[in-house]
Amino acid sequence: MKLTRASRYALTTLAYLAREKPDATVASHNIAAAEGIPEKSLLKVLKPLVDVGILRSLKGPHGGYRLARPAKEVTLLEVIEAVDAPIRGATHDVSEWKEAAFDKRLQAVCDEAAALVREGLAKVTLAELAKGK
């Protein structure tokens, strides 16, 4: 499985917060500097994480971002799907394909593979990722 740049930035940021600053609010520019992420790209990734309740955004002079829940309650699946999209097996509408039986079987195989990926990602928490388990 290949992660998108957005997922990589999200996971890197969340692991940093879980490992280094679990109870602190950290400004986006500080996260970007600490992890070598372009701040403009980072800001695009942080919004969906706030929207789904993984991060909390605090405004003001001491504002920034912090984990909204304990790292042990956040799964990699949640993070990746928040930033990219739900992981699905089929990428095309099978009604447009010519060989119905073959195409349905191919879709079933792809759906099974996606289910396995989802299951694997749901088993790993942010806390485990941050600790390097």
CATH of domain 5-131: 1.10.10.10
Quote the CA–CA distance of 80 and 54 in Å, as a whole number.
11
What does the chain come to in residues?
133
Domain boundaries, the chain: 5-131
Q: Is 12 helix (H, G, I), strand (E, B) or coil?
A: helix
Per-residue pLDDT of the chain (133 residues), as tens digits, is 788 999 999 999 999 999 988 889 999 999 999 999 999 999 999 999 999 999 999 998 888 999 999 999 999 999 999 999 888 876 666 556 566 777 778 888 888 999 999 999 999 999 999 987 5
Question: Could you write out the DSSP letters of every residue in 40-79?
Answer: HHHHHHHHHHHHTTSEEEE-STT-EEEESS-GGG-BHHHH
In this prediction, residue 104 carries a pLDDT of 78
Residue of 24, 50, 27 lying closest to 39 (CA atoms):
27
In this prediction, residue 130 carries a pLDDT of 93
